[in-house]
Structures are given as structure tokens and as C-alpha cells.
Amino acid sequence: MKRSAWRFAVLVFLTSAITTAALQEISHPHGGMAMAAADWSKLMSSMDKMDAAMASVKATGDGDADFVRLMIPHHQAAIDMAKTQLLYGKDPQMRRLAQEIITDQQSEIDLMQLWLKRHRLSPGK
């Protein structure tokens, strides 16, 4: 396929995706999310829990430690949201992505907790 034909195909695809998203936004008042109330509630609960956990972390002045302490609840929220996707999601590609998020984010949490332990730091506060 010639480069200009490839660019045109990509442009058509993106235009279609944007149009679809805009139509969903109009038809679904909650940002295009066509989720059941329970799904949405669990996702928002994960975000609220993350916000509270991150807000409880006290700055230490050590950029590395502060980064790790804030990233742990951030990653945990991603795991919690991915678990909600596995419970309620239907799309195979999104379910596969959710499983990858769980695996990858948990591995990173483990690494960050090990780093904190090696540096004799607590996970937060």
C-alpha cells in the first residue's frame, strides 16, 4: 500500500473513531460510558480510595521515596479498576488488557515495596 493511501486509511479510521466517540458522548450523559451503575460505582470507588491514600502520604523531601509512596496507591487503583473490568467487561481485548494491567502493576508494586524496604522506609505517611 502506498504511503499516501496508508495515511488516508488511517485518517478515515480516526475520523470514524472520533465520530463514534462523539455520538456516544451525546447518547450517554456520563462521558460516553455505557456501564451499569454497579460497574461505574466500583470504578469510582477505586479512584476515591486512591485519592485518599495518595492524600495521606506525607512529603519527605526525598523525591525518590515520595514518588514510590505515591505510585503504590496509584498502581493499586489501576489493579482494582482492572479487576472491575474483568468482572463486568465483555470486550476480549479490554479483558486481556485488564489482565495485563493486573500482572504488570502488581509486579511494579512489589518492586517499589522492595525498594522501600531496602531503604528502610515505610510505605507512606
Helices (H) and strands (E) in the chain, counts: 4, 0
Alpha-carbon distance of 89 to 77, in angstroms, equals 17
The pLDDT tens digits of the residues spanning 43-101 come to: 999 999 999 999 999 999 999 999 999 999 999 999 999 999 999 999 999 999 999 99
Q: How confident is the model at residue 4 (pLDDT cuts 50, 70, 90)?
A: low
pTM summary value:
0.69
In the chain, where the domains are located: 1-34, 36-125
